[in-house]
Amino acid sequence: MNQTTTSPVARGPERVAIYPGSFDPLTNGHVDIITRGAAIFDRIIVAILHNREKSSPLFTVDERMDMARIVFAHEPKVVVASFGGLLVDFARQQGAHVIVRGLRAISDFEYEFQMALMNRRLVPELETVFMMPAESYTYISSRLIREVFALGGPIAGLVPEIVETRMRSTRPPDEPRS
């Protein structure tokens, strides 16, 4: 269909999705959602938020971007970027039509529902699509990974190998930290 209205969301031939988050660190739950997204969309932009609320991140945004790029080096549909400010502005800049979010449990729903409706109010043409991970990843969150790791628990199988390696090399779990 030929669109003659001046849509604020660029409509190219490509179906572009944006998957925003902190990804501190990237987990196998995130990887699952990104992989599912890549099967549906022509391009999925993993958009790492410069989060002002999180005062002491585990990894810098550059480190997070680097690991995500390594994990998806074989998948040309996956693009890794970072952004600050409003997601809808960044989505528009990138020509994305869809926001992808993961839903793990009912507990995610309320916040996600609010965000989706607010984003729709800001840019009605930008749809939010929710995706479910494989059952075995439904309990994984970055926060839980950080906590388990800090207490010396095993995180193998919950995060990509490169993430585990870098977590161990930056902060050995058995070292006391302030």
82 makes contact with ligand ATP (CB under 6 A): no
Taking the least distance from each CB to ligand ATP, the nearer of 10 and 108 is 108
104 as an active site residue: the answer is yes
User: How many residues lie near ligand ATP (CB under 6 A)?
Assistant: 18
- Interface residue with ligand ATP among 82, 94, 128, 141 (CB under 6 A) is 141
CB 126 within 8 A of CB 96: yes
Which range touches ligand ATP (CB under 6 A), out of 8-16, 62-70, 118-126, 132-140?
A: 132-140
63 makes contact with ligand ATP (CB under 6 A): no
Residues 159, 114, 82, 57, CA torsion sign: negative
50 makes contact with ligand ATP (CB under 6 A): no
Say if residue 176 is preceded by a cis peptide, omega within 30 of 0. Answer: no
Question: Site residues for ligand ATP, window 97-116 (CB under 6 A)?
Answer: 101-102, 104, 108
Instruction: State the DSSP string of 92-120.
Output: HHHT--EEEEE--SHHHHHHHHHHHHHHH
- Interface residue with ligand ATP among 7, 62, 109, 143 (CB under 6 A) is 143
64 makes contact with ligand ATP (CB under 6 A): no
119 makes contact with ligand ATP (CB under 6 A): no
56 as an active site residue: the answer is no
- Interface residue with ligand ATP among 18, 88, 140, 155 (CB under 6 A) is 140
Residues at the interface with ligand ATP (CB under 6 A)? 21-24, 27, 29-30, 33, 101-102, 104, 108, 133, 137, 140-143
- What are the residue numbers of the active site? 30, 54, 104, 142
